[in-house]
């Protein structure tokens, strides 16, 4: 199976994730979409690692998983904090800062 297929697939996933961030307003879903994008990156990494035949890419992918986890944790923490402040869980409602 050609590596091309994997990479193209990953780019498609990346695009989908990006689109999700652009159209979804719930911060949780946006976090999910970020996960999608990072995973797309991972897929690409692994695919390339296979292509060039060294495992650095895989290690990179693992590290990315950790990073992704961290972002999720922080993100969810923020969401909880916002929820605590009785603020709407909608990124479009949070636009006091502008101009």
Partner 1 sequence: MSATSWTWLVLLFPLAGSILISLGFRSIPARVAGVIGTGAIALAFACAVAALVNLLGQEPDARHHASSLWDYASAAGLDIKLGIYVDQLSAFMMLVVTGVSTLIHLYSFGYMRSDEGYHRFFSYLNFFVFSMLLLVLAGNFVLLTVGWAFVGFASYALISFWYRRTTATEAGMKAFVINVVGDIGLVLAAFLIFREIGSFDYGTVFAKAPEVFQSGEWTVTAICLLLLVGAFAKSAQIPFHTWLPDAMEGPTPVSSLIHAATMVTAGVYLIARTHVLFYLAPTAADIAAFGGLATLLVAGTIALAQTDLKRVIAYSTMSQIGYMIMGVSIGAYSAGLFHLMTHAFFKALLFMAAGSIISAMANRQDIDRMSGFWKAMRFTSLMLLVGGLALAAFPLTSGFFSKDSILAYAEARGGMYAWMAIGGYVGALLTALYTFRLIFRVLPGRPCEEAQHLIDSGELYHGPPINPATEEEEDTDVGFPGAHHHIAEQSWPMAVAMALLGFGALFAGLIQVPGVDNVLFGFLEPAFLDSPLAEIHPSVGAEWRGLAIGAAISLIGIFAAWVLWVSRPQLPALFRERLRPVYLLCLNKWYFDEAIDFLVVRPALAIGRFANSTFERIVVDGLITGTEDTVGGAGRLVRVVQSGFVRSYALLLLAGFAGLALYFLIVSS
Partner 2 sequence: MNFHAPHIDYAALSPVIALTVGLCIVLMTAVSKPLRRTAPALTLLALATTAGLLIWQWDEETDLISGALRLDGLAIAISLIAILTAAFAVLLSTREPAVEEAGSGEYHALLLGSVLGMVLLAQAQNLVSFFVAIETLSIPLYILCATNLRHERSLESGLKYLIVGSLGSATLLYGMALIYGGSGSTDFAGIAAGIGKESVLGDPLVLVGIGMAAVGLAFKTSIAPFHQWTPDVYQGAPTPITSFMAVATKAAAFAVFVRFFDVALAPESGDWQAPLAVLAAISIVVGNVGALRQSSLKRMLGYSGIAQAGYILGGLVVASEAGVNALVFYLAAYAFMNLAAFAVVVARERETSYGDEIGAVQGLGAERPLLAWPLTISMLGLAGLPATAGFIGKLYLIEALVAGDYTWLAVFIAVGTMISLAYYLPVVAAMWMRPGGEAAETATPTPAIAGASPEADPIDPEAGRRVYLVAPALLAAAAVVFFGIIPQPLVEFAQHAGSSLF
Partner 3 sequence: MEEVLFFGAAIGALGGAIGVVAMRNPLYGVLALIVHLFSLAVLFLLLSSAFVAAAQVVVYAGAVMVLYVFVVAYVGGDTESAWEPIPGQRFLAPLMGAALFVELAIAVLASSLLALGTDGPDVKAGFGDPAEIGRLLLERFLLPFEASSILLLLAAVGAVVLASRREVER
Q: Which residues bind partner 1 (CB under 8 A)?
A: 18, 21-23, 25, 91-92, 94-99
DSSP sequence for 34-99: HHHHHHHHHHHHHHHHHHHT-THHHHHHHHHHHHHHHHHHHHHHHHHHHHHTT--S-TTT---S--
| Binding partner at 65 among partner 1, partner 2, partner 3, none, C-beta below 5 to 8 Å by kind | partner 3
Tokens of 25: 């307003």
Among 25, 29, 54, 92, binds partner 2 (CB under 8 A): 54
Dist. CA 27–CA 61, nearest whole Å = 25
Please, which of residues 9-48 interact with partner 3 by CB under 8 A?
Answer: 9, 11-20, 22-26, 28-29, 31-33, 35-36, 39, 42-43, 46-47
Q: For residue 98, is it left (φ>0), alpha (ψ between -120 and 50) or beta?
A: beta
Binding site for partner 2 (CB under 8 A): 7, 10, 14, 17-18, 21, 27, 30, 34, 37-38, 40-41, 44-45, 47-49, 51-52, 54, 56-57, 59-60, 63-64, 67, 70-71, 74-75, 77-78, 81-82, 84-85, 87, 91, 94-99
């Amino acid at each position: 199976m050609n590596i091309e297929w994997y990479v193209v697939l990953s780019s498609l996933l990346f695009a989908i994730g990006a689109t999700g961030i652009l159209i979804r307003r719930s911060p949780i879903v946006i976090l999910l979409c970020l996960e999608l994008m990072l995973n797309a990156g991972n897929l690409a990494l692994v695919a390339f690692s296979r292509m060039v035949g060294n495992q650095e890419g895989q290690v990179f992918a693992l590290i990315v998983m950790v990073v992704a986890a961290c972002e999720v944790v922080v993100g969810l923490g923020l969401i909880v904090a916002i929820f605590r402040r009785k603020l709407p869980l909608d990124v479009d409602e949070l636009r006091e800062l502008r101009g």
